[in-house]
């Protein structure tokens, strides 16, 4: 094993990453595997912060398309991320990893509220911090929350977990000839409208120079590989 390349990371997991084979909600097997992989990083001294999405339960945009008020729909989406955060916290605690959920919306009986200094203190003490409820405002996504939190906690890098091993010139499932980019600049992602994260999230990372690595979380060991600095996936930087 190579030494970890990064000291403090932010890992963005979409809600779908927790779905596994389940039709809805979370797959306990997937949660267990993710928790074990995160545990290994913590044991090796890496400070791990997570931002979790809610797309496996609710997405504001989808709900609004059915006629629901968009702000209410987004609030439901944010609360969905909290459900996922609690599931992940439970899986981590079953692995004996100290974990704190910090929500951008106050839910005092359930978890802590997000306070930057507190989050950093948790990380310094070796606790995994799960940021829930995005940034707490409608019309944003958890990708933007991930960029913002990564910058706020001075993470060395943001890892964007996906189901494919990086960013491709076209959808690799539909176009077998599509090529995987090893490295892209933020502006290339924006200009070519590549499916990495939404533009708000990319611009924030660009302006604050936060590197992004897009990698395949479905492959066991993939997280370890990227944290060790292996050139798999797609690196987005200046
Ligand atoms: N959301 C929001 N503000 C935020 C983050 C999320 O309103 O800061 C809502 C939004 O409706 C979004 C939903 O929460 O669709 C779930 O988040 P997201 O779609 O980013 O989840 P993912 O696609 O990563 O599973």
Complex ipTM value: 0.99
Alpha carbon nearest to ligand 1 atom 23, residue: 55
C-alpha gyration radius of the chain? 17
Q: Is 8-237 assigned to CATH 3.40.50.970?
A: no
The 3-state DSSP class for residue 43 equals: helix
Residue (of 105, 114, 49) closest to 80 by Cα position: 105
Query: Could you write out the DSSP letters of every residue in 110-170?
Result: TSEEP-HHHHHHHHHTT-EEEEESTTSSTT--HHHHHHHHHHHTT-SEEEEEESSSSEESS
**pLDDT band with cut points at 50, 70 and 90 for residue 1:** confident
What is the pTM (predicted TM-score) of this model? 0.97
Q: Are the CB atoms for 202 and 192 separated by under 8 Å?
A: no
Atom in ligand 1 nearest the alpha carbon of residue 73: 11
pLDDT of 24 over the 90 cut: no
What is the Cα–Cα distance from 217 to 160, expressed in whole angstroms? 9
pLDDT of 231 over the 90 cut: no
Sign of CA dihedral 119, 200, 227, 56: positive
Task: Report residues whose beta carbon is within 6 angstroms of any ligand 1 atom.
Answer: 14-16, 53-55, 59-61, 74, 77-78, 80-81, 134-135, 137-138, 140-143, 145
Whether 139 has a binding-site annotation, put simply, is yes
Report pLDDT for 75.
Answer: 98
> Environment class of residue 218 by beta-carbon count within 10 Å: exposed (0-12), middle (13-18) or buried (19+)?
middle
Report pLDDT for 216.
Answer: 95
The 3-state DSSP class for residue 125 equals: coil
Whether 54 has a binding-site annotation, put simply, is yes
Report pLDDT for 173.
Answer: 83
The DSSP H or E segment spanning 9 is: strand 8-13
**pLDDT tens per residue, range 170-186:** 888 888 899 999 999 99
Report pLDDT for 172.
Answer: 83
Question: Mean pLDDT throughout 5-31?
Answer: 94
Detail the DSSP E strand segments found in 114-211: 128-132, 157-162, 167-168, 180-181, 183-185
Whether 171 has a binding-site annotation, put simply, is yes
Report pLDDT for 33.
Answer: 97
Residue (of 229, 92, 231, 214) closest to 159 by Cα position: 214
Instruction: Compute the distance from residue 134 Cα to the ligand 1 centre, in Å.
Output: 7
pLDDT of 66 over the 90 cut: yes
**pLDDT tens per residue, range 136-174:** 999 999 999 999 999 999 999 999 999 889 999 988 888
What count of residues does the chain have? 238
Separation in Å, CA 127 to CA 89, 93, 229: 11, 11, 22
What is the percent of the chain where pLDDT is above 90?
91
The DSSP H or E segment spanning 87 is: helix 70-94
Q: Mean pLDDT of all residues in the chain?
A: 96
pLDDT of 114 over the 90 cut: yes
């Amino acid at each position: 094993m190579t030494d970890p390349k990064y000291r403090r990371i932010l890992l963005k997991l979409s809600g779908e990453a927790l779905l596994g084979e389940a039709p809805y909600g979370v797959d306990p097997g997937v949660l267990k595997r993710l928790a074990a992989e995160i545990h290994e990083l913590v044991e090796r001294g890496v400070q791990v912060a997570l931002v979790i999405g809610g797309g496996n339960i609710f997405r504001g945009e989808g709900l609004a398309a059915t006629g629901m008020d968009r702000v209410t729909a987004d609030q439901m989406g944010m609360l969905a991320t909290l459900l996922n955060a609690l599931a992940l916290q439970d899986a981590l605690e079953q692995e004996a990893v100290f974990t704190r959920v910090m929500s951008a919306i106050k839910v005092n009986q359930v978890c802590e509220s997000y306070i930057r200094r507190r989050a950093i203190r948790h990380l310094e003490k070796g606790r995994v911090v799960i940021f829930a409820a995005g940034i707490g405002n409608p019309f944003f996504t958890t990708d933007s929350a991930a960029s913002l939190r990564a910058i706020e906690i001075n993470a060395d890098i943001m890892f964007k977990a996906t189901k494919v091993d990086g960013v491709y010139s076209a959808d690799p499932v539909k176009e077998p000839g599509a090529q995987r980019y090893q490295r892209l600049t933020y502006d290339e992602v924006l200009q070519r409208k590549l499916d990495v994260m939404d533009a708000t999230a990319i611009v924030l990372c660009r302006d604050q120079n936060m590197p992004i690595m897009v990698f395949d979380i479905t492959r066991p060991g993939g997280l370890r590989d990227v944290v060790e600095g292996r050139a798999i996936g797609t690196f987005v930087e200046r």
